[in-house]
Copies of this chain bind each other. A is one copy, B any other.
Amino acid sequence: MKKLKELLVEHNISPSLHRIKILEYLAKHRIHPTADDIYRGLVKNIPTLSKTTVYNTLKKFTKNGILIPITGFDNEIRYEYDKKPHIHFQCTRCGKIYDIERDIDIFKNYYIEGHKIQEHHINLKGICKNCLVNEER
């Protein structure tokens, strides 16, 4: 897990234990966790962890470019640790969020109607593969 420590240092974040653990959680759980997910996932092993620290850390990570916050799902902020451009799909049955790796050509052109596009968030909603199968029965 030395890589994570280096990653923090590269982004000018002093690599405290808590921060490494939070980053590790994000790296392992590519499910776009909320602050609460991370807190609950880590507090078992780090009983002194507080939610404030999770929030502080996520804010710092975002500011320093390690994470991207994604919104539009259930009105909580979810965090993403992934550089490749992709689309999010959320299942309205089970709530799970899937990543769909696909590049959207339309946004290759960085101006639309005179507006300069800097980021795009594409959120699809529907019924996922698994839930479709279960429904057929």
Question: A57-73 vs B: 1/0 string, CB under 8 Å?
Answer: 00000000000000111
Nearest neighbor of A91 in chain B, beta-carbon distance: B115
CB neighbours (8 Å) of A114 from chain B are 128-129, 132
Partner of A126 from B115, B124, B125 at Cβ < 8 Å: B115
Range, interface on chain A: 20 to 34
Contact between A127 and B120, CB atoms less than 8 A apart: no
Contact between A127 and B122, CB atoms less than 8 A apart: no
27 contacts between A and B (CB under 8 A): A71-B71, A71-B72, A71-B75, A72-B72, A89-B115, A89-B117, A98-B115, A100-B112, A100-B113, A102-B106, A102-B112, A104-B106, A107-B124, A114-B128, A114-B129, A116-B126, A116-B127, A116-B128, A117-B124, A119-B124, A119-B126, A120-B122, A120-B123, A120-B125, A121-B122, A121-B123, A122-B123
